[in-house]
Amino acid sequence: MTLATVPASLNLIAKETPLIDVRAPVEFIQGGLPGAVNLPLMVDDERHHVGIAYKQQGQQAAIGLGERLVSGKTKQARVAAWQAYVVSHPEAIIYCFRGGLRSQIAQQWLAESGISRPRIDGGWKALRQRLCQRIDEASNQPMLVVAGLTGCAKTMLINQLSNGIDLEAFANHKGSAFGRQPEEPTTQINFEHALAKRLIGLSGKLVIEDESRQIGNANIPLPFWQAMQRAPRIRIEMPLDWRLEQLRRDYIEALERNYIARYGQQEGWRRMQRQLANALERLAKRLGNARLQRLQRLQAMAFGAHARGNIQAHEAWLAPLLTEYYDPLYRYHLEKNRDSRPMQLHVGDWESCLEAAKQWST
């Protein structure tokens, strides 16, 4: 029986083709392809024992052990899961790590049940190489970087643009000590895959927020990061009260909604408080003991007022955090890099920066 293959093409990702990842869950957690669902041929423990057999006794022994481990009702359950997914996603394509034995076995078993679906030639590895290549190619495209003090709604501006690249969304992290979300931050591999997917079809100018190289658990790929550092900039300047309102919406109100949606009212509220308190604690060395203790007291009072319905009380600790820590740190880096600073195309309020970004893009 001939088992069909399809090339490891970025079109699969661009078209959001349904993908069946038959690798073990531990592999999928580290990074799957965009649009993939994990329906493994072998679960982690089975894969572990087969791997030992392969190292100690060779391929045939490993295959034999795999056939014994995934047989009978276990095999029936795995095939049934693939069948159910293909019924609801008739265009689904199968892949494993290299497009080898595991995806071929899944194809074979599906074919025996009357369903024929192709696998990706070269598997996960080949398509990942194409995704990473797309990021490297984008490093040569014109870029504009949106800079500004904390709370200037740089991400909101990026998302107003058809060529905006929201790196924080791909990392599932808002890029500061207070940026963690209820869900786990994105892995490095999944961050790169999400960035590459966004870049597919964007062959012209790109607008990107000014970021540290590390966002949450992910690092911006080096060639792309280096291109960002060379790119011209626009800088948003907004008054403190405007920035405090943005921070309250993004880091307090939205965070509370997300935690409650995930964990329920009581547990979500408790976890949100713990996260914000821990984030402040992580700045201990930079803030100094006296300033940290003062901000902790203000934060604790804000939590109490928040519980009584006064969300604006958080501005009592957010304001000094901005004026005494984040703003001086930002200005220090500006001054430090003054001689090597890229071209600055525009400085102004949020609306004028949005217009400047649109004009530059077109």
Q: Which of 96, 132, 152, 353 is catalytic?
A: 96
Active site residue 96: yes
Residues 6 or more apart from 343 whose CB is under 8 A from it? Answer: 232, 233
* 163 burial via Cβ count (<10 Å: 0-12, 13-18, 19+): buried
Q: Which long-range contacts (CB under 8 A, 24 or more apart) does 91-94 make?
A: 91/17, 91/18, 92/17, 92/18, 92/19, 92/20, 92/117, 93/6, 93/12, 93/17, 93/18, 93/19, 93/20, 93/117, 93/118, 93/119, 93/120, 94/19, 94/20, 94/22, 94/118, 94/119, 94/120
- 26, 216 contact by CB (below 8 A): no
Q: Which residues are catalytic?
A: 96
